């Protein structure tokens, strides 16, 4: 059971109309994608920003590993965005990512915003402006319930790791992280 301080979350509920217009554009896009996909959980707004996995976990009262971080890389061969969705308590191993998708490099804030439509700190694993190459970290499957950014630093949504595969169009699950620190 997730324990949350009173008033910490504002559930957006089933959204089908005017209430969407008062939300940030990125959250609107994510909410529409989730609804169109038949996902049972709408985005929720946090009272405080959750730009890091630790901040999000603290706000939700969950383990940091239950946060599905969306990390964007720039594939060097064609300038395509590569989205790695990883567990919040793990670090991406760029060599493993490169072995799967080709040589990548760091993506700056302008690249992330242009390719995804989201600002760093609120990048959702779904509803990108331009579809990225997606890899899902197998470490997320340690948990029954995870939370991901919903298009804004104050917005998140609940899902199961298997939902990520469906919501991202069958993205592969792979070993893309460094071994945990001892």
Q: Give the pTM.
A: 0.87
Q: What is the pLDDT of residues 23-72, one digit of tens each?
A: 899 999 999 999 999 999 999 999 888 888 999 999 999 999 999 999 99
CATH of the domain at 95: 3.90.960.10
Q: Is residue 181 part of a domain?
A: no
Looking up tokens 């991406």 gives: 92
Q: Is residue 85 part of a domain?
A: yes
How many independent structural domains does the chain possess? Answer: 1
* CA 7 to each of CA 41, 48, 90: distance values in angstroms, whole numbers, following the listed order: 18, 11, 29
Q: Is residue 28 part of a domain?
A: yes
Query: Do 21 and 113 form a contact (C-beta atoms < 8 A)?
Result: no
Query: Do 97 and 135 form a contact (C-beta atoms < 8 A)?
Result: yes
Phi-psi region of 61 (alpha: psi -120 to 50; beta: other; left: phi over 0): left
Q: Is residue 115 part of a domain?
A: yes
Q: Is residue 182 part of a domain?
A: no
* CA 86 to each of CA 38, 42, 43, 134, 139: distance values in angstroms, whole numbers, following the listed order: 23, 21, 19, 11, 7
Q: What is the pLDDT of residues 72-94, one digit of tens each?
A: 999 999 999 999 999 999 999 99
Hey, which residues does 158 pair with through a beta bridge?
147
Q: Is residue 16 part of a domain?
A: yes
Hey, which residues does 159 pair with through a beta bridge?
146
Q: Is residue 1 part of a domain?
A: no
* Structural domain harbouring 14: 9-174
């Amino acid at each position: 059971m997730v324990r949350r301080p009173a008033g910490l979350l504002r559930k957006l509920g089933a959204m089908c109309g005017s209430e969407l217009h008062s939300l940030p554009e990125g959250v609107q896009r994510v909410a529409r994608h989730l609804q169109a996909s038949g996902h049972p959980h709408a985005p929720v707004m946090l009272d405080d920003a959750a730009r890091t996995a630790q901040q999000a976990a603290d706000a939700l009262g969950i383990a940091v590993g239950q946060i599905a971080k969306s990390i964007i890389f720039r594939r060097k061969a064609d300038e395509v965005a590569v989205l790695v969705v990883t567990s919040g308590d793990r670090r991406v191993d760029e060599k493993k990512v490169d072995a799967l998708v080709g040589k990548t490099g760091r993506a700056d804030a302008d690249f992330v915003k242009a390719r995804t439509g989201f600002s760093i700190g609120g990048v959702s694993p779904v509803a990108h402006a331009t579809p990225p190459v997606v890899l899902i970290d197998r470490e997320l499957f340690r948990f029954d319930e995870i939370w991901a950014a919903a298009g804004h630093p104050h917005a998140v949504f609940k899902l199961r790791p298997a939902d990520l595969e469906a919501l991202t169009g069958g993205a592969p699950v792979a070993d893309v992280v460094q071994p945990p620190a001892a």
